[in-house]
Amino acid sequence: MATWNSRGLRGSTLEDLLNRTNEKYLENNLALIQKIPTPITPINIDKDSRHITLAYFDQKSTVDYIGVVQGIPVCFDAKECNTDTFPLANIHEHQVEFMRHFEEQNGISFILISYTHKNEFYYLRFQDLLRFWERAAEGGRKSFRYEELDPEYFLPKVPGVLVPYLNCMQKDLNTRD
């Protein structure tokens, strides 16, 4: 079982940027998005600092963020990637299933990927995630390459917004029936 120690602080920079973005969206009355905490059970606690030094995860998590944007239910996960190849092993089957059910309830699901080596963010639509996921399930690549991504869904630079995913979410909505 994975422990808090083994995972370190992967994604904490992206999480901080997203939390600040979501605060900005809330201040501007655009969205209410909350970080979903992962339930843990502490094993070791430093007596002096009272910080958890070792813990295990109680259960499988669903996605990192959930909320509503202008009346539309939204859920998404945030991932970091430091190469041009994103391994699908970084996304778990139970997360894909949760997102599938969320979409069936007329919600919007997606993955936000921070390509740290390029200083770029990408909005991976659920339908594209599913295409890559099904390709892997049928014996194809267990990853996708940067070059396979739709250039329209790289997040634009927006003054005052650190991870401006709402523009790409609107594009995603516009492609739906």
Q: Is 118 helix (H, G, I), strand (E, B) or coil?
A: coil
| 53 annotated as a binding-site residue | no
Angle at 81 between CA 22 and CA 33, to 5 degrees: 15
| 95 annotated as a binding-site residue | yes
Nearest to 65 by CA among 113, 13, 18, 116: 18
| 64 annotated as a binding-site residue | yes
Residue 23: which residues within 8 A CB-CB, separation 6 or more? none
Binding residues: 62, 64, 77, 95
Binding residues for Mg(2+): 62, 64, 77, 95
